[in-house]
Structure 1
Amino acid sequence: MNLPKAFEEKMKNLLHEEYEDYIYCFDEPRHYGLRVNTNKISVGGFLKIAPWPLSPIPWIHNGFYYDGEHIQPAKHPYYFAGLYYLQEPSAMTPADRLPAEPGERVLDICAAPGGKATELGAKLKGEGVLIANDISNSRAKGLLKNLELFGIGNMLVLSEEPGKLMEYFPEYFDKILIDAPCSGEGMFRKDKKMVKAWEEHGPEFFSKLQRSIITQAAAMLRPGGSILYSTCTFDPLENEQTIEYLLSKFPEFEICQIRPYEGFAPGIPELTESGNQEISKTVRIFPHKMRGEGHYLALLRKGSPTGFQDGEKKKPGLEKVNTRFEKLPEEFTEFWLDVSWNLEPSRLDIHGERIYYMPKGLPCMRGIRFLRSGLLLGELKKNRFEPSQALAMCLKKEEYGKVLDFPLSDTRVIRYLKGETLEVEDKASEKEKGWYLICVDGYPLGFGKLNRQILKNKYLPGWRFQP
């Protein structure tokens, strides 16, 4: 592979005697990764039904390698059931090492296409809130699909400049993940087009963006909260020196130890002006040391600013969701008789025909660009309620009263995913008409409407299976 001379010289200075090992890794095949959605299935449960051979990614508890040259997991019904996400192994590390807990407020500030946001959402287990943001509206659409496919309902998907978010979320978040836009040096082996992009916009260009984003994120983190900063590049300007810059602006931050793995290389304090030895707690991932592409990670905790006393600073104001109705629409309550969830009325919100279920404790967010606010439950049509695809993906089989559960071997599974009308034969008796949750091996795929053993397909058109 032809690498830019300036990049080669930099890597020689960075790796010294390990440089040749790094260059040799370009002759090795890339690695393909699959991450189990623990929001829907346990790792052990997935391994029992996995359709192909998998081998563990040793530093990711729910990550596995698969043979990407010969199998296509994105074409399997279990993918459409949201049981896993396909992700480069090293890229799984940031969300894995950010210790998000159920009930917390979590921000993924550069979230598209959703590889890290889906894992953070799974960690929350439906409690708290995940705010996933990406400045690109088109990329944020793919982010929304992946979060909904994963069954993440306690989320907002935004498309805003990080600087604008500061106005709405001062010291609001418990955890923030910054997978920063970068020069992409760590992905040269995986994607040769990254080399040309690097020649057009190198580390100097991206470091300015990174410094802006990380300081804006710092202002949105509550004291005691944590930021995980990551890039997929090797340049110290974008890595160690960005962390050094944050510490110079926010001295209340401290660098935390990242849960170790034998292949991790420490950050290099000598690459910073201050020579701060705490930088060695950050992590570099090199492709010649691990079965993954290049990455950098830093975990930081925010302490109290100098002179700050608890309760002194004004907290973000919370606005109770205004439902704008005194009584739930009859069409909705009739449908909800088949759902076992106990909804909190104060969290329901109606916009036009759409009904949403909002996360708890949100500030007023008028003026922010949303792609989704909360879980879209469905739409009110003329004298009827149509449940959403997002609701189907959030439900578990046992949480809905009318279910059609097809085994993986049933040809109707793929036909349903293609959007076809299905015949549902029941020799014992004709099934009750109405909305049915369609499952494969017990895992929801979407809704259909049954009438006289004919299932009208309601699978979302934009998600349909493409051979």
Structure 2
Amino acid sequence: MHSNITFPERFLSSMADILPSHLSMEDFTAACQRPLRKSIRVNTLKLSIQQFQQIAHNHGWQLTPIPWCQEGFWIDADESSVSLGNTAEHMAGLFYIQEASSMMPVSALFHHNTAPLEAILDTAAAPGSKTTQIAALMENQGILVANEYSASRVKVLHANIERCGIRNTALTNYDGCVFGAWLPEYFDAVLLDAPCSGEGTIRKDADALKNWSHEAITSIATTQKALIESAFHALKPGGILVYSTCTLSREENQDVCAHLKHTFGDTVTFDSLHDLFPEAKTSLTEEGFLHIWPQMYDCEGFFVARIRKNASVTPPDVTKRLGKFPFRKVSRNMANTISEALYNDLGVTLPTDARLWERDKDIWLFPTALEPLLSEMRFSRMGIKIAETHKKGFRWQHQVATTLVQNDNTHRVDIGINEAREWFMGRDIRPETVSGSGEVIVCFDNAVIGLGKWVGNRIKNALPRELVRDKTFF
């Protein structure tokens, strides 16, 4: 795919200096010029791995298991007429297109954990591949704070969270360096998939090395050191921090972890990842990190370190200035009214680990585990919006369908492929064989794809604009 890549001489020299002795530069450059194998991760919040394997079989997709992620598969699919991203299964959130090596940090985060991780911070979350992977492994329980520094990428992050049926997240839009001071020693686990020079991504981005320089790497490493210190402060004693990058240089990888160890001494332990998967020792460093070169597992270059916090450390001082919190808890009577109406209208029962909040005429469902944080930090988006109130009752929202509907729900209408195409293009549909009244859960091929309302013989489309597709697909 990228056989005409030009490697900067200083880059090749830098790689030759750190390449393990059992690898060759010829194999490295050849691997960088090969196209990546496409890979996907099954969203187990929506269906089981076995159910997805049957869907893949029906489509003629060939799946090869990814050894470090139980839900991950390399996929061989005919995309000549329809890309995987434009399939109904992808738009319904049944799977996520994710590079194989990028699944490794989350697998490392949950590796050998004996107790549930109830509070997790994803420090640099967009576009959402690792956030959605974490949420699935949390089974939508607890609280997952997903932060993204770039305001323009928060919208993409939220769209992917919404598509994948996630309800235990709270989104923030801060510099990742604030968390150590604002939420010291709060999280059971922290993922810092740090911004980096991206040396490992050249197989999918021929321009990844366009602006490569030692000076840029030194500057990025300074940022990474500040971020990892903050992440460590935000971690509870006994908690796990996974630091990862999609780059290869020691300055952005081993040296950043060494900086953490130098700063906090014996409170830092590096957990070896030698048994994360059967061939992990191939990329194992002397510290127990995984330093993955593109030719090792035929994937992107990557780095993963699992770090344990052994004792409390003194966090930085900070002065907080929080504005007035704009939400208030729904009264018990109102909560009962909402719960009864939701069950009567859509056959949906509210989860016991979440509570209803209101702001103006909007009704939201926040994870109970989020409540201690509401006085400590402001969030750009929390939980899910389930309804808007109006004089005749409640207008239910899209995420009620995608996050709360159970498989045995009877308030549903199953539509065919032609209606599904119209639906994903934001259009109302007219199912030929059924009719009804009130709100309805719209399903295609046994997957929930949205929420609508009967108006005569048509279903009015309530798909959020960010999920609407404006082109032909499946």
Instruction: Sort the TM-score into its range (normalised by shorter chain).
Output: 0.7 to 0.9
User: Which residue does 2:154 correspond to in 1?
Assistant: 140
Segments of 4+ in structure 1 off by > 6 A?
none
3-state DSSP of counterpart to 2:334: coil
Deviation at 1:342, TM superposition (A): 3.9
Q: C-alpha separation between the residues in 2 aligned to 1:232 and 1:421? A: 42
Cα distance change of structure 1 residues 107 and 346 upon mapping to structure 2, 3 Å threshold: closer
Amino acid at match of 1:216: S
* Pairing 1:224–2:249 present: no
Q: C-alpha separation between the residues in 1 aligned to 2:395 and 2:46? A: 24
- Contact 2:354 2:367 (C-alpha < 8 Å) held by counterparts: no
Amino acid at match of 1:289: M
Amino acid at match of 1:457: N
Deviation at 1:95, TM superposition (A): 1.2
Stretch deviating more after TM superposition (163-172 or 140-149): 163-172
- Specify which of 378, 391, 396 is matched with residue 387 of structure 2: 378
Stretch deviating more after TM superposition (252-261 or 378-387): 378-387
Q: C-alpha separation between the residues in 2 aligned to 1:28 and 1:156? A: 38
User: Which residue does 1:178 correspond to in 2?
Assistant: 192
Cα distance change of structure 1 residues 306 and 159 upon mapping to structure 2, 3 Å threshold: closer
- Contact 2:128 2:157 (C-alpha < 8 Å) held by counterparts: yes
* Pairing 1:284–2:299 present: no
Q: C-alpha separation between the residues in 1 aligned to 2:163 and 2:354? A: 26
- Specify which of 32, 38, 46 is matched with residue 32 of structure 1: 38
Describe how 1:217-366 pairs up with structure 2 within 5 A: 217-251=231-265, 252-258=267-273, 259-262=276-279, 265-268=282-285, 277=286, 279=287, 281-305=288-312, 322-323=328-329, 325=331, 327-328=333-334, 333-337=340-344, 338-343=346-351, 347-362=355-370, 363-365=372-374
- Contact 2:284 2:290 (C-alpha < 8 Å) held by counterparts: yes
Describe how 1:44-83 pairs up with structure 2 within 5 A: 44-50=50-56, 51=59, 52-67=61-76, 70=80, 72-83=83-94
- Specify which of 96, 104, 107 is matched with residue 93 of structure 1: 104
TM-score relative to the length of structure 1:
0.87
Q: C-alpha separation between the residues in 1 aligned to 2:104 and 2:353? A: 38
- Contact 1:332 1:385 (C-alpha < 8 Å) held by counterparts: no
Deviation at 1:180, TM superposition (A): 0.3
* Pairing 1:435–2:439 present: yes
3-state DSSP of counterpart to 1:145: helix
Post-superposition CA distance 1:81-103 (Å, at most 9, x none): 10000011111111122117655
User: Which residue does 2:131 correspond to in 1?
Assistant: 117
Cα distance change of structure 1 residues 346 and 188 upon mapping to structure 2, 3 Å threshold: closer
User: Which residue does 2:9 correspond to in 1?
Assistant: 5
TM-score relative to the length of structure 2:
0.86
Post-superposition CA distance 1:204-232 (Å, at most 9, x none): 01111111111101111111110111001
Amino acid at match of 2:279: E
Deviation at 1:442, TM superposition (A): 2.0
* Pairing 1:160–2:174 present: yes
Cα distance change of structure 1 residues 102 and 306 upon mapping to structure 2, 3 Å threshold: closer
Amino acid at match of 2:148: D
- Contact 2:109 2:242 (C-alpha < 8 Å) held by counterparts: yes
Give the count of matched residue pairs.
440
Deviation at 1:32, TM superposition (A): 1.3
Deviation at 1:111, TM superposition (A): 0.5
Cα distance change of structure 1 residues 97 and 331 upon mapping to structure 2, 3 Å threshold: closer
Post-superposition CA distance 1:257-290 (Å, at most 9, x none): 221341654454xxxxxxxx5x1x1001111111
Q: C-alpha separation between the residues in 2 aligned to 1:345 and 1:32? A: 37
Stretch deviating more after TM superposition (1-10 or 367-376): 367-376
Q: Which runs of 5+ in 2 are unaligned?
A: 315-324
Q: C-alpha separation between the residues in 2 aligned to 1:406 and 1:297? A: 44
Q: C-alpha separation between the residues in 2 aligned to 1:226 and 1:335? A: 39
User: Which residue does 1:189 correspond to in 2?
Assistant: 203
Cα distance change of structure 1 residues 345 and 98 upon mapping to structure 2, 3 Å threshold: closer
Amino acid at match of 2:445: D
User: Which residue does 1:424 correspond to in 2?
Assistant: 431
Amino acid at match of 1:262: E
Cα distance change of structure 1 residues 180 and 355 upon mapping to structure 2, 3 Å threshold: same
Q: Which runs of 5+ in 1 are unaligned?
A: 269-276, 308-318
Stretch deviating more after TM superposition (193-202 or 145-154): 193-202
Deviation at 1:60, TM superposition (A): 2.1
Deviation at 1:201, TM superposition (A): 6.4
- Contact 2:348 2:404 (C-alpha < 8 Å) held by counterparts: no
Cα distance change of structure 1 residues 263 and 346 upon mapping to structure 2, 3 Å threshold: closer
Amino acid at match of 1:48: Q
Cα distance change of structure 1 residues 147 and 306 upon mapping to structure 2, 3 Å threshold: closer
Deviation at 1:393, TM superposition (A): 1.1
Deviation at 1:372, TM superposition (A): 1.0
Deviation at 1:43, TM superposition (A): 1.1
* Pairing 1:448–2:452 present: yes
- Contact 1:396 1:443 (C-alpha < 8 Å) held by counterparts: no
Q: C-alpha separation between the residues in 2 aligned to 1:254 and 1:82? A: 37
Cα distance change of structure 1 residues 328 and 336 upon mapping to structure 2, 3 Å threshold: farther
3-state DSSP of counterpart to 2:299: coil
- Contact 2:342 2:349 (C-alpha < 8 Å) held by counterparts: no
Deviation at 1:346, TM superposition (A): 7.6
Q: C-alpha separation between the residues in 1 aligned to 2:84 and 2:180? A: 39
Post-superposition CA distance 1:382-424 (Å, at most 9, x none): 43422222222103343644101235xx311111111222223
- Specify which of 394, 399, 402 is matched with residue 393 of structure 1: 402
